[in-house]
Amino acid sequence: MPDSVTEPSLNKHAHRLLASSVAALFAADPKRHEQLSCRTETLMLDYSKQLLDYEVLGELLDLAGHHKLGAAFFELVSGAQMNVTEARPALHTLLRGTARSENPDFVAAVDACLDKMQSLVRAIHAGERCGHRGDRFTDVVNIGIGGSDLGPRMVCRALEQRDQPLNAHFIANVDPNDLDTVLAPLNPDTTLVIVCSKSFTTEETLTNALRARSWLASAGVAECDIHNHVIAVTTNLEAASHFGIDRDQCYPLWDWVGGRYSLWSAIGLVIALQSGWTAFEQLLEGARQLDECTLSAAPIDNLPMLMALLEYWNTLYLHRDTHVVLPYSQRLEHLTACLQQLTMESNGKRVKESGEPAPQRTAPVLWGSAGTIGQHSYYQLLHQGMRQFSADFIITLKEPGSDSDAQRKLVANALAQSRTLMLGRSDEEAQQLAISRGQPKAMTGHYAMPGNHPHSLLIMDSVNPKSLGALVAAYEHKTFFLSKLLGINAFDQWGVELGKQIGQQINQMLIDGQGLDDLDPATAATVTAWRDANA
């Protein structure tokens, strides 16, 4: 493939389609939703409201072939060194049992870790492993940040039940208010703390872990009993044992699992503790099934590949700068935050794998929140603002046990918004509205909405462990396929690393006030102001 900024024929199609509309495409082909949809066991993608026709779809599918997306995915799950700057594979799929025979060297470690996790979960749920006074654990606090927080936090919220074995809590921010607020209502005697840090060097996590230990100690947990209340998940056993967590209380992680892809590993312990081992296994199974189907399906039937091709089309050709994810489920309220790290930390890059500048736009900004709440804040911009965006609506068909009237209204809102984003309100209708309000025609523009905002619907039966596993895996693979279309490495994050490094330097300057001349004057002035305020 030449490194052209964009493919000329797709550019021509984009020009043509931008002068048309999704509504016109539906008028010409009322059954297009039957063709422009794709199913897996647990998910359905309806992309008929995207601004594309069969010609464009054909060319996008050809691109999948040119970029050898299927082969690249096989390489990924087979343990090829996809992370070129860190010379590592990215084998999160192995954690859920995909391509075991391709990765014989790592299988035993994964199995042993799962066994160790399961034993812990069983012992805690059976009341065999208790707090220092012999009380059953009632609460589990996960301390971690980024991938060591967002995935498990999202899944725990999604699977929350009234009568669950343990209640899960999360502390991520180094802002002391986060820890103080989370721990305040908890009983230290019945609380288990999991320190999740792949590197065991992340400042926020280590600071919070120390503070959580002090909280336990000040509640009377003797130093020799702390090991019963604090466990760790990390690749860095040495740092964890230096911190005071015995090796046998550490659950392993490996450098071949990226932080933002790690919820399937022991980083997911909090999920199993909250929702049970079976739920955790089902989560892995849903993701594994999605992996299998991504490995075997032709591009036209390959749900994450289609999602990536659509994002590529929307970003590069229809010039959408942002992608809004709108889950119509309060259970999925943390999904967007989780996908932000997944997609923007993976594909928010400006160079290709080779180190050359990326010749085109890379990842769009991802944002959004659970519907219907956003309808009463930022949807106004979606309907009448001037920004160009694409969107995913996530809808569930049946939520057993929830109020059916409210549930129906939720879905009605999702479908209404999707339809309005597609159709908008025509100038004629807007004019009639202006007139009916006794206003001159000149006021028409206030009521008109362009519509024609490309978006997909991701539909699942309900938010359950299996469908959730599949949903997250679908976004993971979409992210990977997009990286391959863009030619970038999805598995490093050098921008974040720089921030961590400079943060440590400035922390030292806040402590001792030394070396301020090395800073820019504005930053130095704020360091001085902070030191004065805290003198």
| Residue number, nearest CB to ligand F6P | 259
Residues 216-235 that bind ligand F6P (CB under 6 A): none
Shortest Cβ 148–ligand F6P spacing (Å): 4
Any residues with CB less than 8 A from the CB of 63 and at least 6 apart, and which? 7, 309, 312, 485
Q: Which is nearer to ligand F6P, 92 or 453 (CB)?
A: 92
DSSP code per residue over 456-484? EEEEES-S-HHHHHHHHHHHHHHHHHHHH
The Cα 343–Cα 493 span in angstroms is 11
Q: Which is nearer to ligand F6P, 259 or 454 (CB)?
A: 259
Residue of the chain from 148, 452, 467, 479 that contacts ligand F6P (CB under 6 A): 148
| DSSP 8-state secondary structure symbol assigned to residue 349 | -
Q: Which is nearer to ligand F6P, 195 or 411 (CB)?
A: 195
- Helices and strands in the chain, H and E counts: 22, 11
Q: Tell whether residue 88 is a contact of ligand F6P (CB under 6 A).
A: no
Q: Which is nearer to ligand F6P, 67 or 198 (CB)?
A: 198
The Cα 41–Cα 44 span in angstroms is 8
Shortest Cβ 144–ligand F6P spacing (Å): 6
The Cα 76–Cα 490 span in angstroms is 11
In this structure, are residues 218 and 180 in contact, taking their beta carbons and an 8 Å threshold? no
Alpha carbon of residue 200 to chain centroid: 22
In this structure, are residues 274 and 441 in contact, taking their beta carbons and an 8 Å threshold? no
The Cα 207–Cα 4 span in angstroms is 47
The Cα 518–Cα 511 span in angstroms is 16
What's the Cα-to-Cα distance from 522 to each of 110, 307, 442, 501, 502, rounded to whole Å? 49, 43, 48, 19, 15
Q: Which is nearer to ligand F6P, 316 or 490 (CB)?
A: 490
Shortest Cβ 266–ligand F6P spacing (Å): 12
């999991």: which residue's tokens?
A: 194
Catalytic residue among 116, 227, 383, 500: 500
Catalytic residue among 7, 281, 311, 345: 345
In this structure, are residues 452 and 422 in contact, taking their beta carbons and an 8 Å threshold? yes
Shortest Cβ 423–ligand F6P spacing (Å): 40
Residue of the chain from 97, 146, 188, 252 that contacts ligand F6P (CB under 6 A): 146
In this structure, are residues 461 and 42 in contact, taking their beta carbons and an 8 Å threshold? yes
In this structure, are residues 261 and 89 in contact, taking their beta carbons and an 8 Å threshold? no
Shortest Cβ 472–ligand F6P spacing (Å): 15
Q: Which is nearer to ligand F6P, 88 or 132 (CB)?
A: 88
Q: Is 323 a catalytic residue?
A: no
Shortest Cβ 239–ligand F6P spacing (Å): 10
Q: Is 345 a catalytic residue?
A: yes
The Cα 52–Cα 29 span in angstroms is 12
Shortest Cβ 161–ligand F6P spacing (Å): 27
Q: Tell whether residue 418 is a contact of ligand F6P (CB under 6 A).
A: no
Q: Is 33 a catalytic residue?
A: no
Shortest Cβ 437–ligand F6P spacing (Å): 50
The Cα 210–Cα 200 span in angstroms is 12
Shortest Cβ 179–ligand F6P spacing (Å): 16
Any residues with CB less than 8 A from the CB of 495 and at least 6 apart, and which? 348
Residue of the chain from 131, 188, 259, 465 that contacts ligand F6P (CB under 6 A): 259
The Cα 520–Cα 518 span in angstroms is 7
Q: Tell whether residue 151 is a contact of ligand F6P (CB under 6 A).
A: no
Residues 292-351 that bind ligand F6P (CB under 6 A): 345
- Using CB under 6 A, which of the segments 193-201, 305-313, 397-405, 420-428 binds ligand F6P? 193-201
- Using CB under 6 A, which of the segments 196-204, 240-248, 318-326, 521-529 binds ligand F6P? 196-204
Q: Tell whether residue 199 is a contact of ligand F6P (CB under 6 A).
A: yes
Q: Tell whether residue 92 is a contact of ligand F6P (CB under 6 A).
A: no
The Cα 275–Cα 279 span in angstroms is 6
Task: Name the packing angle between helices 69-77 and 465-486 (round to 10°).
Answer: 120
What's the Cα-to-Cα distance from 390 to each of 66, 321, 333, 367, 482, rounded to whole Å? 25, 8, 19, 11, 15
The Cα 83–Cα 453 span in angstroms is 35
Residue of the chain from 40, 42, 202, 249 that contacts ligand F6P (CB under 6 A): 202
Q: Which is nearer to ligand F6P, 202 or 417 (CB)?
A: 202
Shortest Cβ 170–ligand F6P spacing (Å): 13
- Using CB under 6 A, which of the segments 197-205, 210-218, 271-279, 459-467 binds ligand F6P? 197-205
Residue of the chain from 197, 265, 329, 346 that contacts ligand F6P (CB under 6 A): 197
Alpha carbon of residue 361 to chain centroid: 21
Q: Tell whether residue 207 is a contact of ligand F6P (CB under 6 A).
A: no
Q: Tell whether residue 484 is a contact of ligand F6P (CB under 6 A).
A: no
Q: Tell whether residue 287 is a contact of ligand F6P (CB under 6 A).
A: no
Report phi then psi at 32, rounded to 5. Answer: -65, -25
Q: Tell whether residue 489 is a contact of ligand F6P (CB under 6 A).
A: no
Report the catalytic residues: 345, 376, 500
Binding footprint of ligand F6P on the chain (CB under 6 A): 145-148, 197-199, 202, 205, 259-260, 345, 493, 496
